[in-house]
């Protein structure tokens, strides 16, 4: 681990202290690490052609009574089943639903899918949060039996 010193003017130091208190940080180092990590991830994912893999969440609200909106959103998820890991559906009231979707895959594909959902008429408060990951091919058995099949899959590790 590398140590370095940061000098802040009084106003910025006060804002940083308030930020730490508001978010429950007990020490400056952890707060600075999280801020740097977040900014580096944002920069990497906002490159014109972001490469590599990511995991993330897509969150949005919609009125399930709007003409065929729920079925269009569901069909979009089925069309991209390779990216959707899991979904949580919450009824906010008698009309509005909140959905949070866990996504995993190539950055460009995940971003394109999220853009398609968020830009759909009737979707409100759409947000995508991505975390860049390294994807490592893996193969091992899940079980102890000598005949247990080997499964080919990817392991995802956060980059920062």
The correct CATH number of 53-137 out of 3.30.420.40, 3.90.700.10, 3.30.70.1150, 2.40.110.10 is: 3.30.70.1150
Q: Is 129 annotated as a binding residue?
A: no
Strand blocks (E) in 49-149:
53-63, 84-91, 96-106, 124-141
Q: Which pLDDT value is given to residue 153?
A: 81
Q: Are 62 and 101 in contact (CB under 8 A)?
A: no
Q: Is 91 annotated as a binding residue?
A: yes
Q: Is 89 annotated as a binding residue?
A: yes
Mean pLDDT, rounded, for 20-26: 91
Contacts of 49 (CB under 8 A, 6+ apart): 108
Q: Is 81 annotated as a binding residue?
A: no
Give the span between the Cα atoms of 19 and 13, in whole angstroms: 10
Q: Which pLDDT value is given to residue 9?
A: 86
- Quick one: how far is CA 52 from the chain centroid? 14
Q: What is the pLDDT of residues 82-141, one digit of tens each?
A: 999 999 999 999 999 999 999 999 999 999 999 999 998 899 999 999 998 988 888 777
Which of 24, 25, 44 is closest to 33 using CA atoms? 25
Q: What is the pLDDT of residues 46-97, one digit of tens each?
A: 665 567 899 999 999 999 888 888 888 889 889 999 999 999 999 999 999 9
Give the span between the Cα atoms of 160 and 158, in whole angstroms: 6
């Amino acid at each position: 681990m590398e140590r370095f010193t940061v000098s802040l003017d009084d106003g910025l130091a006060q804002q940083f202290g308030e930020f730490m208190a508001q978010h429950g940080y007990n020490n400056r180092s952890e707060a600075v690490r999280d801020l740097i990590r977040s900014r580096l991830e944002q920069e990497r994912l906002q490159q014109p052609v972001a490469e590599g893999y990511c995991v993330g969440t897509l969150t949005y609200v919609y009125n399930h009574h709007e003409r065929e909106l729920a079925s269009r959103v569901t069909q979009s998820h089925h069309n991209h089943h390779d990216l959707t890991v899991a979904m949580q559906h919450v009824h906010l009231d008698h009309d509005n639903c909140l959905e949070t979707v866990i996504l995993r895959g190539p950055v460009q594909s995940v971003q394109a899918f999220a853009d398609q959902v968020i830009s759909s008429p009737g979707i409100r408060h759409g947000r995508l949060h991505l975390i860049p990951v390294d994807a490592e091919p893996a193969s091992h058995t899940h079980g102890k039996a000598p005949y247990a099949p080997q499964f080919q899959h990817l392991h995802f590790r956060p980059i920062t």
